[in-house]
Amino acid sequence: MRSFCGRVDPAAGASDLAEDSEEYDHHQEIARSCYADMLHDHDRNEKYRQGIFGAVARVKARGQKVIVLDIGTGTGLLSMMAVSAGADLCYAVEVFRPTAEAARCIVEKNGFSDKIKIINKHSTEVTVGPDGDMQMKANVLVTELFDTELIGEGALPSYEHAHLNLVQAGCEAVPHRARVYAQLVESELLWSWTQLQPVEVEGARLVPPPAVVGCAGAHSVCDVQLSQVPPDSFTPLSPVCTMFSVDFSKAVSSAPQCHSSQFVARSSGGAQVVLSWWDLDMDPSGAVVCSMAPSWTYAKPETAPWRDHWMQSVYFLPAERKVKEGEVLSLSVCHDDYSLWYSLQTDSPTDTKMDVLPSRPCCSCRAHLVWNRPRFGEINDRRRTESYVRALRSVLRDDGVCLSVSDGSLLPVYAHMLGAKKVFSLENSRMSKQVVEQVLESNAMKGSVELLEIRADQLTSEHLGGEMISVLLGEPYFSTSLLPWHSLSFWYSRTALAGLLRADATVLPRSATLQLLAVEFQDLWRIRAPCGTCEGFDVTPMDEMVQRSLDFRESREAEPHPLWEYPCRALSHPTEVMTFDFTQCVPEQPISSQGLLPVLRTGRCHGVVLWMEYHLTDDITVSGGLVGPISDQGDCEWSRHRKQGVYFFTSPWDTSGDERAAVSYSFTFDPCEGDVKMAFSMESRDPTP
């Protein structure tokens, strides 16, 4: 079977799929997965341990041999727990071949290979019988098939098949049951992630297209660290409702279903958003519970366990609805075998199984396909828009010809509203072009901006009506960008357009700087931390080969993360390490930068954060990273609209005992690849004279 991996070409502003070679290191994919986070999740591991030990003990008390089926074994940790609890035999099923091979090595390394059989198949392909994968049906079913949405990894079909074919009637199941919770809220912040808001541009009002306002939005779940969404940013309109539960010890159906919960509205407001999470009972009595509830639901928020492999979900109602305090309402959730969606009614339908569900939200306006949720938030950010409008006002000329290079941007619309004579915009796709056209038509501006579905290197003077460009502008934003510096594809477009720029042309932004900050993460470090002996359980869950991937490969490049969801402390001042001058063409030779970043606060330096700041004019800057001053304690406020680059050190550096500690850095921007290479080390800087 052929496999493919994603590849970004920053210089071309494009992404594609590249076929893996036979030598492709899939163990790096294992290292990049959330196994480290799961293995460091002591709360999860301990709850599973208690549930498994209890299930094995109950089967033994009935005088039966304990046969365990572990579906989605991953590293084999839960299977090893089962054997340690006294299970006679464990069938550990893992569909991903490299992970199955790693599990086989780990099981052998820990001395469990005589009682654990690794089966490299999807569980629905597993057979039972003398010549089958399993010699007999299991009487203990252990699974970890859950995602942020609970059922998104195909848990229901897998359970349904297992109960029909792989496990005995009345088997013990760990976890025993799951419950899904939801709360209806009003939130300007969260609603801005799915609905385009009106924009004021120097007294003129730009309104969203009716098709966007009336669109149900994207159907995919919005997974988020809900603990980092401040409670004062939303108004609860309902109590926390239990929407439905699933008993995993009995036959499970993957048939489409709807469930509802009736409640009395706690306050008046606009019903817009549903916050949702779930928990697991690891035993039949419900005494051992593994909860995904956000920290602000806890009496002591600091006691809430942190995890990144399971987060919380945000669902957007198809349309805002006004509700009154005291009104009796019914919140409904529907699900197929992989996803959930919510709706709000005034009556209370009974829970049902059906072949055809009420319609799932689906984007009909195309905007939710062009703009992801952070992008909606970015476009709706009034302060950010004001910065661009002020910058545009300062550079536009009455006879100006503007060209915008960004994906699905409203900057060319603002330029027209501010009086530019002619405005052109390059769009990377027909769909993004259609979305901007909707905005123009809805505001009686059809034809005021000429949208060109071509690349910068394809643009000719004829496309511009023989005119020369006086203002080249961009946010820059490109849907293909993963890391902050990937948006430097704007610079490559500027270079391709050099022959069409007037001698006195203005480029906005004028330049960009790459910023660097040394940090101590509160929790994010766990996703790349070494996984030797699993916390709370005496086995080694990572084999040597996979561990090397985690320790060495992962520390050689930066990763994109939305740091507003992952608190950290700054251990240094933010420092400008590279400058990219957009008034000039991309240089032919690499740009290099080296230096020392003094560490000013004590702590454990887990790595560095990198982001881009775009200098629109001499005095107007827009940041894709820090958006506020660092507090005296080092607390940081990060942009919610862009992901920052995070470079994790192989192991954290303790800075508590060295007043001269510094991070040595080296950066090289390769113009041929459009990418930034980097290296770091911890050093002791010379004492101040």
Q: What is the DSSP string of 144-205?
A: ----TTSSTTSHHHHHHHHHHHTEEEEEEEES-EEEEEEEEEE-HHHHTTTSPPPEEETTEE
Choosing from 29, 108, 153, 565, the catalytic residue is 153
pLDDT-based confidence at residue 526 (cuts at 50, 70, 90): very high
Sequence-ordered list of residues with C-beta below 8 angstroms from that of 252, at least 6 positions apart, any chain = 156, 159, 160, 163, 246
CA atoms of 573 and 555, how far apart (whole Å): 22
CA atoms of 340 and 45, how far apart (whole Å): 27
- pTM assigned to the model: 0.92
Q: Check pLDDT > 90 for residue 535.
A: no
Half-sphere exposure of 89 (CA within 13 A, CB side): 12
Q: Homologous superfamily of 381-507 in CATH?
A: Vaccinia Virus protein VP39 (3.40.50.150)
**Beta strand spans in 442-510 (E):** 449-452, 469-473, 501-508
404, 412 contact by CB (below 8 A): yes
> Phi-psi category of 87—alpha, beta or left, where left has phi over 0 and alpha has psi -120 to 50?
beta
Least confident of 115-129, 198-212, 355-369, 536-550: 536-550
Sequence-ordered list of residues with C-beta below 8 angstroms from that of 421, at least 6 positions apart, any chain = 397, 398, 399, 400, 401
* Topology agreement, domain 178-367 and domain 511-684: yes
Tell me the domain boundaries of the chain. Answer: 33-174, 178-367, 381-507, 511-684
CA atoms of 688 and 397, how far apart (whole Å): 50
Name the one residue in this structure whose structure tokens are 């009455």. 398
pLDDT-based confidence at residue 529 (cuts at 50, 70, 90): confident
- Tell the CATH topology of 33-174: Rossmann fold (3.40.50)
> What confidence score (pLDDT) does residue 543 get?
41
CA atoms of 475 and 670, how far apart (whole Å): 22
pLDDT-based confidence at residue 242 (cuts at 50, 70, 90): very high
Q: How many percent of the chain have pLDDT more than 90? A: 82
CA atoms of 297 and 278, how far apart (whole Å): 13
pLDDT-based confidence at residue 689 (cuts at 50, 70, 90): very low
Mean pLDDT of 268-279: 98
Mean pLDDT of the chain, nearest integer: 91
Architecture (CATH level 2) of domain 178-367: Distorted Sandwich (2.70)
pLDDT per residue as tens digits for the range 440-464:
999 999 999 999 999 999 999 999 9
CATH 2.70.160.11: does it fit domain 511-684? yes
CA–centroid distance for 180 within its chain: 21
CA atoms of 481 and 494, how far apart (whole Å): 17
CA atoms of 5 and 481, how far apart (whole Å): 16
Mean pLDDT of 120-145: 97
CA angle 93, 251, 89 (to 5 degrees): 35
Q: Other C-beta atoms within 10 Å of 352: how many?
A: 12
> What confidence score (pLDDT) does residue 349 get?
55
Q: Check pLDDT > 70 for residue 595.
A: yes
Q: Tell me which DSSP letter residue 111 carries.
A: T
CA atoms of 520 and 60, how far apart (whole Å): 47
Mean pLDDT of 517-540: 77
3-state SS assignment for residue 389: helix
Choosing from 94, 101, 144, 149, the catalytic residue is 144
Q: What is the DSSP string of 277-288?
A: EEEEESSTTS-S
pLDDT per residue as tens digits for the range 296-339:
999 999 999 999 999 999 999 999 999 999 999 999 999 999 99
CA–centroid distance for 359 within its chain: 26
pLDDT-based confidence at residue 389 (cuts at 50, 70, 90): very high
Higher pLDDT, 371 or 38: 371
144 is catalytic: yes
Q: Which residues pair with 71 in a beta bridge?
A: 93, 143
Side chain identity at residue 372, one-letter code? N
659 is catalytic: no
Q: Tell me which DSSP letter residue 631 carries.
A: P
CA atoms of 28 and 546, how far apart (whole Å): 8
Q: Check pLDDT > 90 for residue 551.
A: no
> What confidence score (pLDDT) does residue 513 get?
98
Q: How many percent of the chain have pLDDT more than 70? A: 89
269, 235 contact by CB (below 8 A): yes
pLDDT per residue as tens digits for the range 153-162:
999 999 999 9
Look at the alpha carbons of 289, 295, 299, 300 in this order and tell me if their dihedral is positive or negative: positive
Sequence-ordered list of residues with C-beta below 8 angstroms from that of 400, at least 6 positions apart, any chain = 420, 421, 422, 470, 471
Q: Check pLDDT > 60 for residue 17.
A: no
